[in-house]
């Protein structure tokens, strides 16, 4: 469910005409719906009401300060994976005690920043990282609360680039090495092991891999309890998918019910890290057709948004539904929708049937609220797009469009 709909053939974002937004703010343009963000967060968070839980929104999905602030006001914590994301979360007013810090490559400075802020815990991904956190905490005279990210070797049946819980992935520790890590954590003076962590991947369309991983974690929990580890938190990560095309991912209530049945007897606070499922369909990208072009085998729509603005189709071969901002009622043609970047891999869609479109008309690319702007770049020295947050009939400029001057402001 989202709040982008046609009225008399013209697309609206909540109560605001998308055409008027494109005219006022230019394209490419990201538009987020506050009502959709709120609806998705409430639907997710309430699905786990039967459990003691904390919903920590995954900042990497969409890290705009306006979005983080809005979710924080609804009670969300944050899952961060870098010092920059921690900085954003704190700037947005998020309680540090609701922040968990994941990621495989935490630097000394980032560990120090997190300890200074007083975050809830680090999700530790290697033995070397555990030793480093102890060292930094000792230098600061602090105790670091940690969980070990356990790699359960579960196949999430998703794209290999977003699969994170198998032995061949770079994330976490396998079961055997996780036991060793908890033994070491008990010995280290400046470490307090308070949780277990697991994240198996993203865009999952079934809860079965989650439950398979959970069974392994519960067996593991009994082993570390016998070792004397007092675990308070069970961090199950995120990963629930969204419908980009014809996917039918499970509703969070299905997941919540299954977790409640398995965890009812255990005194554990569950931490969940949704990102895409909150943000994905809360945003769209608007682009204008610059030229149309045909050759003997292809019809092209050359638009002003490129792989630097939305890289998912080029990087993952991902499907994003595309439509007209103003429906013209023309017959369909098959197009490649391509951008201005000097790469053959620069496309938003291939062999896509769309109503015939003319230069100067605008297209909407759906499901762009997650991993859209956050993965954008300045490739080909292109300024990044403007981000708008629409709340009813109110338009908030969540991020100004970059300029040519901003491209070079840090260069000497």
| 336 strand-pairing partners | 300
Q: Is 247 exposed, middle or buried (0-12, 13-18, 19+ CB in 10 A)?
A: exposed
Q: Where are the alpha helices (DSSP H) in 228-299?
A: 252-263, 276-279
**Nearest-angstrom CA–CA distance, 237 and 335:** 38
Select which of 145, 198, 342, 386 is catalytic: 342
Give the whole-angstrom CA distance, residue 145 versus residue 95: 16
Q: Which residue carries 């609806």 as its tokens? A: 39
Q: Is 273 annotated as a binding residue?
A: yes
Q: Known binder of ligand: residue 312?
A: yes
Tell whether 276 is in a known binding site: yes
Angle (CA) 69 90 392, round 5°: 5
Residue 290 burial (C-beta neighbours within 10 Å; 0-12, 13-18, 19+): middle
Which residue in this structure is represented by tokens 């909407």? 364
Q: Is 239 helix (H, G, I), strand (E, B) or coil?
A: coil
Give which of 254, 275, 274, 277 is closest to 50, Cα–Cα.
254
145 part of the active site: no
| Residue 376 phi, psi dihedral angles, 5° rounding | -70, 155
Nearest to 11 by CA among 309, 363, 395, 391: 363
- Whether residue 57 is annotated as binding a ligand: the answer is no
Give the residue ranges of DSSP H helices in 197-306: 208-227, 252-263, 276-279
Q: Provide the pairing of β-strand 77-80 with 99-101.
A: parallel
CB contact at 8 A, 228 and 182: no
Where do runs of H (alpha helix) occur along 74-124?
Answer: 83-91, 108-117
For residue 360 the two structure tokens come to: 């100067």
Closest CA to 236 of 162, 149, 156: 149
Can you say whether residue 44 is alpha, beta or left, with left for phi > 0 and alpha for psi between -120 and 50 degrees? alpha
Residue 204's nearest CA partner among 262, 261, 243 is: 243
112 annotated among ligand-binding-site residues: no
Which residues make up each annotated binding site for pyridoxal 5'-phosphate? 239, 273-276, 371
Which residues make up each annotated binding site? 239, 273-276, 312, 316, 343, 371
Give the residue numbers marked as catalytic: 342
Which residues make up each annotated binding site for substrate? 276, 312, 316, 343, 371
């Amino acid at each position: 469910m989202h709040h982008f709909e046609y009225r008399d053939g013209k697309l609206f974002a909540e109560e605001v005409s998308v055409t008027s937004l494109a005219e006022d703010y230019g394209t490419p343009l990201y538009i987020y719906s506050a009502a959709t963000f709120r609806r998705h967060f409430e639907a997710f968070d309430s699905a786990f009401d039967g459990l003691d839980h904390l919903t920590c929104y995954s900042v990497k999905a969409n890290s705009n300060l306006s979005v983080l602030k809005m979710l924080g006001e609804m009670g969300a914590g944050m899952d961060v994976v870098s010092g920059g994301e921690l900085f954003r979360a704190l700037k947005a007013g998020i309680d540090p005690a609701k922040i968990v810090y994941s990621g495989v490559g935490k630097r000394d400075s980032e560990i120090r920043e997190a300890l200074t802020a007083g975050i809830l815990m680090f999700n530790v991904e290697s033995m070397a990282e555990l030793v480093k956190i102890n060292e930094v905490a000792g230098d600061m005279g602090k105790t670091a609360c940690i969980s070990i990210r356990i790699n359960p070797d579960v196949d999430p049946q998703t794209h290999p680039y977003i699969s994170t819980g198998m032995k061949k992935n770079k994330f976490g520790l396998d079961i055997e090495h996780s036991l060793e890590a908890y033994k070491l954590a008990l010995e280290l003076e400046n470490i307090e092991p308070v949780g277990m962590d697991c994240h198996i991947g993203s865009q999952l369309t079934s809860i079965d891999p989650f439950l398979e991983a959970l069974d392994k974690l519960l067996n593991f929990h009994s082993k570390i309890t016998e070792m004397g580890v007092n675990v308070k938190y069970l961090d199950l990560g995120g990963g629930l998918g969204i419908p980009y095309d014809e996917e039918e991912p499970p509703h969070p209530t299905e997941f919540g019910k299954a977790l409640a049945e398995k965890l009812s007897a255990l005194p554990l606070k569950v931490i969940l890290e949704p990102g895409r499922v909150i943000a994905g369909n809360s945003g769209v990208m608007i682009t204008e057709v610059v030229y149309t072009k045909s050759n003997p085998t292809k019809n092209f729509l050359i638009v002003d948004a490129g792989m630097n603005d939305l890289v998912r189709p080029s990087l993952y071969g991902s499907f994003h539904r595309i439509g007209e901002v103003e429906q013209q009622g023309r017959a369909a043609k098959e197009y490649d929708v391509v951008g201005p970047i000097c790469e053959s891999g620069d496309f938003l869609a291939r062999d896509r049937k769309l109503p015939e479109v003319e230069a100067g008309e605008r297209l909407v690319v759906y499901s762009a609220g997650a991993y859209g702007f956050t993965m954008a770049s300045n490739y080909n020295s292109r300024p990044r797009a403007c981000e708008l947050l629409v709340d009813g009939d109110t338009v908030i400029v969540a991020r100004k469009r970059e300029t040519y001057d901003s491209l070079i402001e840090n260069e000497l």
